[in-house]
Structure 1
């Protein structure tokens, strides 16, 4: 059940594959400081064990996000929709199917194409394995360094969390699950001209999972005239927790029409590490 609105502005934030709201770093906190009500959901098959993804389809993820969107839409004159990685694909598809106009869309590190520098040359062979459903269900796609993070300190925090088996991100996902993401990517590529809300696309030049081709494709195909592409120069895939996280937050706030000064955190000493959202 959704809490009563505290603001006239709401935002639905959608995490990525195998992840949690940690994927979005401090975005919830930043937006709340600026007076935006933030809302999240745990996508089907997430928040428990990777094996639970074996019973989930792309339709299940999309249905869950649409239900949440429809729950929130009557509560706010302005509702923004933002997603990270697979969550950005879901955000785009919901904006398209729901004819979202009373708010904006933010697509962070959208994997429209899986063609980043760390993806293996044989990645296209997965389509052959999809023809053998039993094998696709048994095969695991492991999380490995650099974990989508260029910042060495933040990467070490993530590695330690994996070693402790912290419940912040799955250590692996079934290949079957990647097949569902591929189906979602196919939907997103279609009818992008039907997206008419103001849209911000953020992508790292060095994203190891998905190259700038994805961001440029969205920028070219989206139907809205009010769109902006921001290319980050010092991050990998996980843009909300990496070196450019402050720039990401500032761009999102400005896209929402909010003065970034309203979301400034408390002052910290020089000896205190910068917030990444992974220690909260």
Structure 2
């Protein structure tokens, strides 16, 4: 039986729908600079081609994360969870499933740009019609949700870079996802609503005021439901807060919350090299 290394801290980082660890921006480097062990597994159906998501369900993501989480528990004295976008929904549901922070009160949870409500300023007025499409056999599998401007990015230079990378077909993020996956996100939203009232660990909620996918109402819902939550509102980013203008603030807030020196978010070194 493996004995956890005394004093060691691991952070399970969970990326968003259609993404990879690139969704997490500078977080992995900042955590490693600070002395943590950062784990950012690629979720099932991701990192290959969008079609692989057609037969992938939320349960597969949760099962894979549960396995990784339990392995980390055997190796590290402290294990934190942090998720971005859909990854934040998964983090919340995972925390409930594994009783995160109940038997190990030092373990904490960070929820970044959590889409409890899909009601941001760029979402179309007909967004709720997707629930009707879900009921038409085979239709959701044939429909694509394309990545489009502003790509969750407020910074114009970064936005142009993301647009060019998507056009080239770079593997950092899918250019589209099937509507079936949006249905899985909606299922996770229901699970997260049910789970949040049972979460007792210390929780950090970070959300951008101008998030185009999910409004500040999501952060307010989490703050009201989670008994030990603290919310940070960002003023200069859209949805992809780990790579947008406020990325250094996000990293510093996360490091401080997890008990590390926030200055490591800006510290340069081999682990922080691009």
Mark yes or no: TM-score above 0.5. Answer: yes
User: Deviations along 1:210-261, whole A, 9 cap, x unmatched?
Assistant: 0011111011111x33x21000000000000000111101100110111212
1:74 aligns with 2:74: yes
Residues 16-95 of structure 1: pairs in structure 2 closer than 5 A:
16-95=16-95
Aligned to 2:177: 173
SS in 2 for 1:180: helix
* CA distance in structure 2 between the partners assigned to 1:48 and 1:16 by the alignment: 15
Structure 2 CA distance for partners of 1:31 and 1:138, relative to 1, 3 Å: same
1:160 aligns with 2:167: no
User: Contact 2:119/2:214 (CA < 8 Å) preserved in 1?
Assistant: yes
After TM superposition, the structure 1 stretch with the greater mean CA deviation from structure 2, 154-163 or 121-130, is 154-163
* CA distance in structure 2 between the partners assigned to 1:24 and 1:191 by the alignment: 24
Aligned to 2:235: 233
Aligned length: 266
* CA distance in structure 2 between the partners assigned to 1:133 and 1:89 by the alignment: 26
Shift in Å, 1:263: 4.3
For normalisation by structure 1, the TM-score amounts to 0.91
SS in 2 for 1:112: coil
* CA distance in structure 1 between the partners assigned to 2:69 and 2:200 by the alignment: 17
User: Deviations along 1:176-220, whole A, 9 cap, x unmatched?
Assistant: 110011001000001422111110000000000000111110111
Aligned to 1:273: none
Structure 2 CA distance for partners of 1:43 and 1:5, relative to 1, 3 Å: farther
For normalisation by structure 2, the TM-score amounts to 0.93
SS in 1 for 2:197: helix
Aligned to 2:15: 15
List structure 1 segments (4+ residues) > 3 angstroms apart after TM superposition: 4-7
* CA distance in structure 1 between the partners assigned to 2:108 and 2:118 by the alignment: 25
* CA distance in structure 1 between the partners assigned to 2:234 and 2:96 by the alignment: 26
| Cα root mean square deviation, aligned | 1.8
User: Deviations along 1:31-63, whole A, 9 cap, x unmatched?
Assistant: 000000011211111010100000111111111
Aligned to 1:274: none
Match of 2:204 among 173, 194, 200: 200
Structure 2 CA distance for partners of 1:6 and 1:140, relative to 1, 3 Å: farther
Aligned to 1:270: none
Shift in Å, 1:73: 1.2
